[in-house]
Structure 1
Amino acid sequence: MGGIRDVDMLPPVVEAMKAQKAQQAATCLKLGLGAPESGRDYVFSGSRGGLLKPNFLRDYIWYSTLKKAGLRRRTMYQTRHTFASNALAAGQAPSWVAQMLGHTTPEMLFTVYARYIPNRTRRDGSAFASRMSEAALPEAQKALAVIPK
């Protein structure tokens, strides 16, 4: 955790990043700053094309965006929970989700992130029963059709 790692970017993310980078370059040109030099062509930058300072991002962009969206105040780090719970709920392999989060094994997911997945905290078996009844219904109907009346 906390180190540098490769992260898979899904096609919509790649497209959004390319669009943002193009917008940043256009803004720099419009401000008369010229094209960003290689290695300093950031996807997200300050108003003059330089590095976006984390405190500014958090205090003036992140918190105001949360407020406008009607969401309670939270840290940017908590987006990890959102990613992990949504990926797992969508059926992504826990090993892939763990890799994207920088964990060496999926065990951490089940310890920390599983509580964010809908129905994972149910202890009444209703989600399983529902799944089984949906799957079993067509088979039961076939069986009833062949039973002599």
Structure 2
Amino acid sequence: MDALRDRREQQTAERDACGAEWLESGYVFTTAVGSPVDPRNLNRHWCATRKRVGLDEYRFHDLRHSFVSLLLDLGVAPHIVREIAGHSDLQVTLGVYAHASTEEKRKALTQLSKLFE
């Protein structure tokens, strides 16, 4: 709620600064002049950034994949990762993003071998 209140204050300041130029869209997250944010803006920003830092071969979606995979590798409960990622089904989270790392495999086999000691 605090973040939304802060956003409302920011948007009010933007509206006041624009005056008659403000485009009332009814959206919470808009451009500085009130128009809806064009999803292609994010892609354009990412393309410029990745080129500048030498990551030309990476798509923006690759960041999402890495983020979700890292959370799972860190041991975050899959149902929590599912909620953060916005997946409607846990099977999407586990089926697409849960890749067993070499370390996870080694740990599982070590646990199994302890069972037979």
- The TM-score, its normalising length taken from structure 2, stands at 0.59
Matched residue, 2:17: 30
Q: Is the 8 A contact 1:33 1:48 kept in 2?
A: no
Alpha-carbon distance in 2 for matches of 1:24, 1:64 = 27
2:43 aligned partner: 58
- The percent identity for this pair of structures is 24
CA distance in 2, matches of 1:74, 1:67: 10
Distance 1:35 1:54, change over 3 A: closer
Q: Deviations over 1:97-119 (max 9, x none)?
A: 224432423x333332123xxxx
Unmatched 5+ stretches in structure 2: 112-117
CA offsets, 1:10-53, max 9 Å, x none? x9xx74x665554343233212248875x72432x234211011
Amino acid at match of 1:62: W
Whether contact under 8 Å (1:98, 1:104) holds in the other structure is yes
Which residue of 2 is the match for residue 6 of structure 1? none
RMSD, aligned CA? 3.7
SS in 2 for 1:86: helix
- Count of residues in Structure 1 that have an aligned counterpart in Structure 2: 108
Q: Higher helix share goes to which structure?
A: 2
Segments of structure 1 that go 5 or more residues without pairing to the other structure are 1-10, 133-149
Asked which structure has the greater RCO (Cα within 8 Å, sep 6+), the reply is 1
- Normalised by the length of structure 1, the TM-score is 0.49
The answer to whether 1:90 aligns with 2:74 is yes
